[in-house]
Structure 1
Amino acid sequence: RAVTQLPGPVDPRLPALTGWRTAPGSPEAASGYDDSTWAVADRTATNSTTKPPAGQPVLTADDYGFSTGDVWYRGHYQGVVPDQLSLRYGGGGAGMLQAWLDGEYLGENVLPSALASPPTTGTATFTVPESLRGDGPHVLSVMVRDDGHNEDGGVNDAHKEGRGLISVTLNGTSWRIQGGRPDPVRGPLNSGGLAGERDGWHLPGFPDRDWAPATVPAATTDPGTTWYRTTFDLRVPAGQDTSVGLTIGDPSRPRSGGHYRALIFVNGWNLGQYIADVGPQHTFVLPTGILDPHGRNTLAIAVTSDGGPGNGLENVTLTNLGSARGGVPVHLVTSPGYRCQSLC
């Protein structure tokens, strides 16, 4: 009987992620931003179980066709602004809200997590600087991160709870709303209403040559969303299956010291959300097929932060999650790039 040892897998030599480019991603926060093409949010009835106070318009995103992903609101108001503004919203577990008045950042509110039954709605209250309280016109810009709808395990219509804004203590405001564009290939859960998502910044082939060069990890960041893009080439040996992951920050720490979150897109596909101060997941699987193991790949990360010290994107690396000889050949998934997206 002949016995021999079969060769094992070869180190795929995953590349370092370099050549980053960056661009600010919250133009909707500017007071002069043109929202004239956005949907008018003036409905008076909703199928949601989350009703607005009497006399206020329905603001919940589902009522305007935006059931997943981030959603932006802009409220136009004539008059004196009170010294405090309260915004009730639905974001799902660990959902969040950011607000600006006349282009100045008011702050961020994050729904609590790591609880047996974490709240899925909440109220954000912000103190308005005296310089912004005078007679209008004023523009209140709000971004709500929708982390998903409730399940209905209790058969109590919990899944009908609204997402997005529910009400704002600023009566007489006229509202407009914007969410994600349809993606007929990647589906409705792939992207939301961030400007970068709507304009295809997450897609392969997007022309980012005019973006500023960036260093990752990022020492500083601004309030709102900042985008980072790079490409990398893989050369996984033939006849070998290597599972590749993307790791952000230090995986030995369940929660990092940063207060930010990052949407991860590979070749245009949304592969997860990293929430630095919630955790514990640091490494996200990049499935072969979406990931090209023998060619060029595009990585885009949308970082949403309050702009505080230490709240920028941490180190980002590729991780070998395991290699084996053989394996079933995997065909690449259709991943339309920027040109197709803009013409389709």
Structure 2
Amino acid sequence: MLRNDTSDDRRVSLHLDSETSVTVPVPGLDARLIATGIALGRRRLRYSSAQPMLWLTAGRQDIAVFTGRPGDPTETLLECASKPKVTVLEGTARYAYTDGALRVDAEPGAAARVLVEGGGATAPLLLLFADDEASARLWRYDTPSGSVLVRGPALLRTATVRGTTVHLAGDTVKDADLEVWAPRGVSDVVWNRRTVRTRATASGSLRAVRRLPGAPKVTLPALTGWRRQAENPESAADFDDSAWRTADRTSSYSTTPVPTGGPVLFSDDYGFHYGDVWYRGRFEGGSVADTVSFSYVTGTQGLLMAWLDGKPLGTHRMPVPDKKTVRKGTWSATATFPVEVRETTDAGPHVLAVLVRRMQHDEDGKANDSHKAGRGLSSVTFNGASPEVSWRIQGEAAPDPVRGPLNNGGLYGERNGWHLPGFADGRWPAADFPRSERRQGVTWYRTGFRLTVDPEVDASIGLTLTDDDPARAYRVQIFLNGWNMGQYINDVGPQHTFVLPNGVLNTRGPNTLALAVLSDGTTSSGPGKVELTLLGRAAGGVPVTLVDSPGRRN
């Protein structure tokens, strides 16, 4: 193995023994393998400065494939008991036989081929010298009838030999050649259930007379017909939280210490493990306080929003990780917000409402129980007062029986099926993008769209969210047909496109898209532009079974 740790290309002279040396070009920041003593079917390789890719027996001959960069000279030495017959079938190559060895000098390219016959071996050997691009279009497939080598398509999925026909299934992106080296007796080729007209070549292959067609154009619809609905009724002073869990535990299962004198507020201790969690705390007035402080614990990029008697107090978010903290799994902070004196001196009762986006649990990579760290609120204190606050907590509803417990959190819309197909949003106001409004809380957007992708086309489709101003502070949870596709954070990024997996995405029928937009109220919030994006397409593919995506029962 020769490794080049510099950024410049190098040519290295390597001594294999006292009498043999070979010059090997090694690209910058790359490495090259020198192959020696390898059996290539019924012949033996003494050495090669080209990179060995594969060898196989197909039909009446052995085939060996070597790779390299375009234009890089290579040396290949084969042991031969006698002088063989050598034919350069395609490309440029030179050869010479001396002292029981055949030396072949060739430059890898799209189709450099050398056929070696005789020389003491019972079968011919076809040498293919492919450059990087050409080698990416070579596919070996082993069948019960023997090995198959296919050149040309972007992907070979399967190969089956039935009688005199080899049936191939695979993908093409652009128009592509099709050349097949098949077991003995094969004379016909079928590609994706269609017979391909071929001709025999001097390389022992069957080559298609016409190129395989590439993938046809895929047209995606614009996302229109949006409807919107403001959410977070939990922040209102008169919201009915009587069915919520009472937060009154005095001990925690987490590894995070519980503050002295207060109840346990960590969400996991009350059975809420995923997504957002709400808290509502009631207290009587009569005390003078000028600030209220919320201590909380989250994963990376967690945040907290608070309201007092239905009025926004503000939003706090964990800092964006830097190089020193990028692997930090648990973050803690205290958010302090000013309050008007009269809001705590009035007799009350008063209501604090708090939404915590907890983000992820730690993965516990160091096996130190870091995955047991608390999530959610840890304590709430007032400056200048110490009212007794009674807390209730609400997180995610019962797990979706199909989509699983990680699919949903504790937002009001999630608990009431706003993300699901079939939800009755007909009375929601119409909306257009881009949006620009300033509001602390959650707003939902829903629309539907229909795709008509050709069944013989494998199309990869994503959802792209863009905004001209990265300073606009909002986040978007994306739901496709009720399935959680991820979270977009406009002022952090870097991800703007989210893959919509086929199967969850109905590529030949209707789909429902729901966006839960969480904005902190400090800036105008979006979304800006929301559109479907074609990430790639290929002719061929495999049948996709739709994933069960049950809707809401109204």
Q: TM-score range by the shorter chain?
A: over 0.9
Q: Look up the match of 2:290.
A: 83
Mark the runs of 5 or more structure 1 residues left unpaired by the alignment: none
Is 269-278 or 155-164 further displaced after alignment?
155-164
**In the alignment, which residue of structure 2 is the partner of 1:218?**
435
Q: Distance in 1 between matches of 2:446 and 2:394?
A: 24
Higher relative contact order (CA 8 A, sep 6+): 1
Deviation per residue, 1:94-150 (Å, 9 max, x gap): 000000000000000000123232562211111113342323210000000011111
> For structure 1, which segment, 192-201 or 169-178, has the greater mean C-alpha deviation from structure 2 after superposition?
169-178
Select between 27-36 and 81-90 the one with higher mean Cα deviation: 81-90
Give yes or no for contact 1:41–1:57 (8 Å, CA) kept in 2: yes
Contact 1:249 / 1:256 at 8 angstroms: preserved in 2?
no
Secondary structure class of the residue paired with 1:169:
strand
Q: Deviations over 1:15-66 (max 9, x none)?
A: 1111000001110000000000000000001011222321200000000000
- How has the CA–CA distance of structure 1 residues 131 and 210 changed in structure 2, closer, same or farther, with 3 Å as cutoff? farther
Distance 1:270 1:81 in 2: 44
CA distance in 2, matches of 1:244, 1:132: 51
Matching of residue 232 in structure 1 with residue 444 in structure 2? no
Say which of 288, 291, 294 aligns to 2:502: 288
Q: How does 1:1-344 map to 2 (within 5 A)?
A: 1=199, 2-79=208-285, 80=287, 82-115=289-322, 116-117=324-325, 118=328, 120-135=331-346, 136-170=348-382, 171-181=387-397, 182-249=399-466, 256-339=470-553
Where does residue 125 of structure 2 map in the other structure?
Answer: none
Please state whether the residue corresponding to 1:133 is helix, strand or coil: helix
Amino acid at match of 1:284: F
- 1:85 partner amino acid: V
RMSD: 1.5
For the residue of structure 1 that corresponds to 2:405, the secondary structure is coil
How big is each residue's C-alpha offset from its partner over 1:223-275, in whole Å with a ceiling of 9 and x where there is no partner? 1000000000001112001000000015xx8x823211110000000000001
Query: Which stretch of the first structure deviates more once superposed, 6-15 or 16-25?
Result: 6-15
Q: Per the alignment, in what secondary structure is the counterpart of residue 268 of structure 2?
A: helix
Is the contact between residue 228 and residue 301 of structure 1 (CA under 8 Å) also seen in structure 2?
Answer: yes
8 Å contact kept, 1:260–1:306: yes
Q: Secondary structure at the match of 1:203?
A: coil
Paired amino acid for 2:338: T
* Contact in 2 for aligned 1:239/1:327 (Cα 8 Å): yes
Contact 2:252–2:258 under 8 Å retained in 1: no
CA contact (8 A) 1:257 1:310 kept: no
Aligned partner letter, 1:98: M
Give me the TM-score of the superposition, normalised by structure 1. Answer: 0.95
Give SS of 1:10's match: coil
Distance in 1 between the 2:254 and 2:478 partners? 30
Equivalent pair of 2:473/2:523 in contact (CA under 8 Å): no
1:269 counterpart letter in structure 2: W
**Deviation at residue 289 of structure 1 after TM alignment:** 0.3
In 1, Cα distance between the equivalents of 2:273 and 2:523? 33
Say if 2:463 and 2:500, in contact at 8 Å, map to a contact too: yes
Query: Which stretch shifts more, 142-151 or 279-288?
Result: 142-151
Quickly say closer, same or farther: Cα 1:221–1:3, change in 2 above 3 A: farther
**SS of corresponding position for 1:172:** coil
What amino acid sits opposite 1:150 in the alignment? D
Q: Which moved more, 1:18-27 or 1:129-138?
A: 129-138
Q: Which amino acid aligns with 1:27?
A: P
Contact 2:251 2:258 in 1 (8 A): no
Q: 1:167–1:15: structure 2 CA closer, same or farther, 3 Å change rule?
A: same
The one-letter amino acid of 2:258's match is P
In structure 2, C-alpha distance between the alignment counterparts of 1:54 and 1:276, rounded to whole Å: 38
Structure 2 unaligned spans of 5+: 1-198, 200-207
Distance 1:50 1:216 in 2: 43
In structure 1, the residue corresponding to 2:269 is in which secondary structure?
A: helix
Q: Match of 1:99, as an amino acid?
A: A
Report the Cα distance in structure 2 between the residues aligned to 1:312 and 1:320, rounded to whole angstroms. Answer: 23
Give CA deviations for 1:123-181 in whole Å, capped at 9, x if unaligned. Answer: 11111133423232100000000111112123322111111111111551000000111
Cα drift, residue 306 of structure 1: 1.6
Tell me the amino acid that sits aligned with residue 406 of structure 2.
L
Higher mean C-alpha deviation, range 5-14 or range 62-71: 5-14
CA contact (8 A) 2:288 2:341 kept: no
Moved over 6 A (4+): none
Per the alignment, in what secondary structure is the counterpart of residue 189 of structure 1? helix
1:123 aligned partner, one-letter code? T
When the two structures are aligned, how many residues end up with a matched partner?
337
- The two structures have a TM-score, normalised by structure 2, of 0.59
Amino acid at match of 2:379: S
Deviations 1:175-196 (A, max 9, x none): 0000111211111110000000
The separation in 2 between residues aligned to 1:27 and 1:54, in whole angstroms, is 31
SS in 1 for 2:410: coil
- Equivalents in 1 of 2:438, 2:226: separation in Å? 15
Please tell me whether the aligned partners of residues 92 and 148 of structure 1 are also in contact (alpha carbons under 8 angstroms). yes
Q: Distance in 1 between matches of 2:548 and 2:374?
A: 33
AA of the residue aligned to 2:432: T
Larger radius of gyration: 2
Measure the CA separation in 2 of the matches of 1:219 and 1:131.
33
Check conservation: 2:303, 2:356, Cα contact below 8 A.
yes
Note the C-alpha offset of 1:81. 5.6
